[in-house]
Chain A
Amino acid sequence: MRDLMLVDDEPLVLRSLERSFRRKDDCSVETYTNPEEALNRLQTKTFDVIISDYRMPGMTGTEFLRAARELQPRAVRLILSGQADQQALVHAINEAHIFRFLDKPWDEATLDAALQDAYAERDRLMEENLLAGRYRREQGL
């Protein structure tokens, strides 16, 4: 069971994404139209993958994901946006360390493939963390 967070200021986009994820994967989806509320939630619940819009009132997707990364560095971050100008991309990669930048309107197959890759990345990060912890204990650090 995967925990997925979706953030987009357009509620109908969220409903649609939630629908298509629910049908395909064994996952629990939480949706937020307000990035501030999403950040609050990240303080109490762990998520495997976070998918955010780029252009939102109050906060860009990059600002949101940068803050999300501080709260949960091992939650894999994706941006889904209709606005893929170079500036936005550069910021998203350099500042929020995003895993994928996906185009709107999204293509179901591409989105699905990206999500599977994100789960794999999540597993890798968790395992790495586990091994690092074990190593530290063995070394008595």
Chain B
Amino acid sequence: MEAERLASIGQLAAGVAHEINNPVGYLQSNLRALDEYFAALRELIQEYEALLREHMPEDQQSRIQTLRKELDADYMLDDLSALLDESRQGVSIIRDIALALRDFARTPDGRMEPVQLDDLVRMALRIAHNEVKYVATLDTELQSSARLVCDASMISQVVLNLVVNASHAVEADGHIVVRTGSHGEHAWLEVEDNGCGIPAADLERIFDAFFTTKPAGKGTGLGLAMIRDTVNRHGGRITVDSEAGRGSCFRVILPLRPPAAENPS
């Protein structure tokens, strides 16, 4: 039931993302055009003003000055660049959300392949390194020699998202540890941080799509929902151990062979 619900949310999300991409495309492009038009018009206005100062009789000049004050024209000319810039930032946030929705809705292409979990984690950490290096030290204890059959790009995304989330949770003296191991027919992966932790009241909702505690524009609320969806699709599970003020530890357990890989349909 849960998988079906997520699949239909996924279809909806993909549709919404597609519909959003068109207007975002022309908004972005139009705002850039507006910026260029405005720069050209401002140059023209400045030229006019220089001419007016030289050639216009005093009384008419003062009429223009009055109008200029009434309209608050100086402020508008000043503010226009900021206005455009802020609008562009808004559009870029919408674009990021649409892209995240599309990733969220991405159907696994069924390319399940055997990978060395530790190799995959190392690769993902190399990408995450840039996000993390300024806020936290990152340690690894990678001890899984298991070969895991999985959609490598989706599982990399899981690792990446967990580590980036951890880096968002920590403040000064942040410390993040990534551990792996295997046990029988399962491999596991842990991402632990000493960050702000998750209040008990939020713990139940952190995997819900669109649940976020980050300020508007900073998080789409889809990261953990996507992680859980991916883990579920691989027949695994994800648990979290967290306490406000102490930090969080996310643990992902994956079967070495996901159910779908055993019964190819």
Interface of A with B (CB < 8 Å)? 10, 12-13, 15-17, 19-20, 23, 55, 82-83, 86, 104-106, 108
Contact = CB atoms under 8 A, between A and B. Distances in A.
Contacts of A23: 33, 36
Given A12-B23, A86-B109, 8 more contacts: A10-B22, A15-B26, A16-B33, A19-B29, A82-B22, A105-B24, A105-B98, A108-B28
10 contacts: A15-B26, A16-B25, A20-B32, A23-B33, A82-B18, A82-B22, A104-B22, A105-B25, A105-B95, A108-B28
B63 to A, nearest CB: 36
A10 B189 CA distance: 46
- B-side interface size class: 10 to 19
Contact of B22 (A13, A19, A108): A13
A19 B18 contact: no
B33 A19 contact: yes
Contacts of B95: 105
Nearest to B29: A16
Contacts of A105: 21-22, 24-25, 28, 95, 98
Most chain B beta carbons < 10 A, residue from A10, A19, A55, A105: A105
Interface string B20-48: 01111110111011001000000000000
A103 B75 CA distance: 38
Contacts of A17: 26, 29
A83 B170 CA distance: 36
Given A82-B18, A86-B109, A105-B95, A20 B33 contact: yes
A12 B30 CA distance: 10
A16 B26 contact: yes
B107 to A, nearest CB: 8
B17 interface: yes
Contact of B26 (A13, A55, A83): A13
Given A82-B18, A83-B18, A86-B109, A106 B33 contact: no
B28 to A, nearest CB: 6
A82 B21 contact: yes
Contacts of B26: 10, 12-13, 15-17
Contacts of A12: 22-23, 26
B18 A55 contact: yes
A55 B22 CA distance: 11
Contacts of B28: 105-106, 108
Nearest to B17: A82
Nearest to B24: A105
Nearest to A53: B22
Contacts of A15: 26
Nearest to A106: B25
B21 A104 contact: yes
A105 B23 CA distance: 8
